[in-house]
Amino acid sequence: MYSKEESKSMRLEFWSRFDQYSALRRRQKGKPGKFIMNRTGIKQLKLKFEFNEHEAVTGIDIETRDMEKRLGLYEKLEQLKPVIEAKLGQEITWELDHHLANGKSISRISMRLSNVGIYEKESWKKVFPFFYKNMMKIEEFYEEYRDFLKY
């Protein structure tokens, strides 16, 4: 078990190393060093990474208390389901009602990598390419369908 400071330090180290890993690769492809993440231009839609003691998750979150807006955006993504699944080429989890650890309800479309942990540095070697490869594909999808999702 790690102390609060050790836990924070490990998490910061992971994200710092991942930023370095991805920024280098993105620049080699002529992309900005940072992923879009929260800067989608759609207030409710965020591209996400999540990594804990058991799994790594990457995908798209729809966060709003306005259920009508949330459902509308989720349904637009569902209309693009064949495109998303073809682009990502792996199993995708579709959750209209996903509950975060803080109790907040969101909608989430995600891919998961199990049996890895943020406190196991050996598993970072699996998580870096999983996050990078999938977020690059999610961003490509998003950039192509941004206008459709906005309006």
112-146 pLDDT, tens per residue? 999 999 999 999 999 999 999 999 999 999 999 99
The CB density around residue 135, as the number of other CB atoms within 10 Å, is 22
- The whole model's pTM is what? 0.93
- 58 and 138 Cβ atoms separated by less than 8 Å: yes
Report how far residue 125's alpha carbon sits from residue 143's, in angstroms, rounded to the nearest whole number: 28
pLDDT for res 44:
95
Is residue 1 scored above 80 in pLDDT? no
Looking at every residue in the chain, the average pLDDT score rounds to 95
The CB density around residue 27, as the number of other CB atoms within 10 Å, is 11
Percent residues over pLDDT 70 in the chain: 100
- 35 and 22 Cβ atoms separated by less than 8 Å: yes
Is residue 70 scored above 80 in pLDDT? yes
